[in-house]
Amino acid sequence: MKFFRTLRRSIRDAFKSVFRNFSLSLASISCITITLIIVAISILITFNVQNFTREMEKDLTIVVFLDTDATEEDSKIVMEKLENMSNVESLTYQSKTAIKEEMRKENEVFNEVMSTWSEEDNPLKDTFQVKVKAVEKIADTAKRIEKLDKVSTVRYGEGMVDNLIVAFEAAQKVSYGMVIALILVTVFLIINTIKLTIFSRKREISIMRLVGASNFTIKTPFIIEGMVLGIFGSIIPILTVCFGYVALYNHFDGYLYSRMITLIEPEPFIYMVSGIVLVIGIIVGMIGSASAVRKYLKI
């Protein structure tokens, strides 16, 4: 009971103090707001990039064409060798006959032309579709497959997809770096805000100490004040996330540039991001106020 009374009083004091030193609090809140907006945008981008690189990686396969004269026996040997490669996740085999049948089904003209082909003069090649485990090693794996006997050509999404993934990964690293730097700046600002609150309440604190307030009672309002700053600071970023992302999603119809890059659906994505933003705001506020208390409230 006493604990909750103290807590209630702390919360009241924290709110009072936020409004009493309004201009100061506003500076901190603005800074948290800016930081959290950038954090939110970074999170939105990061999650989306992660989402579509994952999507893309799922589709990324190596297509292995065998020599035209490869026998059934040969394809079996190649298959075995492929299966034994460490980076190979799974493979599907399509014989040239199967491919021919599929193509005939798909297109009338093909059907006409191919109907005359006998098994011997089918110019198509037997193929393997290879899924890899680690996409970043796909070029290496392709090279090794190319060296196998009876393999004529190897194709995978060379260039474009590779470069895209590398670029996204770089972008992700930059945004991580930026978020960390901004959080540090915010913590620094909060420390200073709380420091000024502590200084402006020095007299009160010394009297509290004199009349027998416990350290918990003295410290808690300042810790909560930091958290309140964090909560106030996350309001605008959360609104930005909720309305901004939905507007963006609707504007682009869920896709960016091409059908290849799909955006994550707003619900429940925006709620998750809002939650993360709020928690980061509170934690950053708490870290700031806790360090200020440790540094400037020598009790």
Partner 1 sequence: MDLIRVKNVNKQYKNGVTAIYDLNLSIKKGSFVFVIGGSGSGKSTFIKMLYREEKPSSGEIFVGGINVAKLRNSKVYKLRRKLGIVFQDYRLLPKLTVYENVAFTMESIGATKAETRRKVLKALELVGLKAKIHNYPDQLSGGEQQRVAIARAIVNEPRILLCDEPTGNLDPDRSMEIVKVLEEINKTCGTTIIMATHDKEIVNKMQKEVVLLKDGRLIKHLEKGGYEE
Of 170-178, 213-221, 222-230, 272-280, which part binds partner 1 (CB under 8 A)?
Answer: 213-221
Contacts of 177 (CB under 8 A, 6+ apart): none
Nearest-approach distance from CB 214 to partner 1, in angstroms: 5
Which residue in the set 113, 184, 279, 299 belongs to the binding site for partner 1 (CB under 8 A)?
299
Tokens at 98, concatenated: 């199967």
- Pick 98 or 299: Cβ nearer partner 1: 299
Q: Quickly count: other Cβ atoms within 10 Å of residue 186's Cβ.
A: 27
Which residue in the set 208, 236, 248, 260 belongs to the binding site for partner 1 (CB under 8 A)?
208
Burial class (CB in 10 A: 0-12, 13-18, 19+), 197: buried
Q: Quickly count: other Cβ atoms within 10 Å of residue 102's Cβ.
A: 12
Please tell me whether residue 211 binds partner 1 under the rule CB under 8 A: yes
CB-based contact 219:9 (threshold 8 Å): no
The closest alpha carbon to 228, from 13, 10, 15, belongs to 15
> In angstroms, rounded to a whole number, what is the distance separating the alpha carbons of residues 3 and 101?
78
Please tell me whether residue 200 binds partner 1 under the rule CB under 8 A: no
CB-based contact 14:218 (threshold 8 Å): no
β-bridge mates for residue 129, sequence order: 63, 92
> In angstroms, rounded to a whole number, what is the distance separating the alpha carbons of residues 284 and 278?
10
Which residue in the set 204, 252, 255, 275 belongs to the binding site for partner 1 (CB under 8 A)?
204
Which residue in the set 148, 213, 242, 246 belongs to the binding site for partner 1 (CB under 8 A)?
213
Which residue in the set 2, 105, 147, 251 belongs to the binding site for partner 1 (CB under 8 A)?
2
- Pick 2 or 251: Cβ nearer partner 1: 2
Which residue in the set 69, 160, 212, 253 belongs to the binding site for partner 1 (CB under 8 A)?
212
Which residue in the set 86, 90, 214, 250 belongs to the binding site for partner 1 (CB under 8 A)?
214
Q: How many positions of this chain bind partner 1 (CB under 8 A)?
A: 19
HSE, CB side, 13 Å, CA atoms: give it for residue 201: 24
Residues 44-103 that bind partner 1 (CB under 8 A): none
Which residue in the set 207, 239, 247, 279 belongs to the binding site for partner 1 (CB under 8 A)?
207
Please tell me whether residue 6 binds partner 1 under the rule CB under 8 A: yes
Q: Residue numbers of the site for partner 1 (CB under 8 A)?
A: 2-3, 5-6, 9, 203-204, 206-215, 217, 299
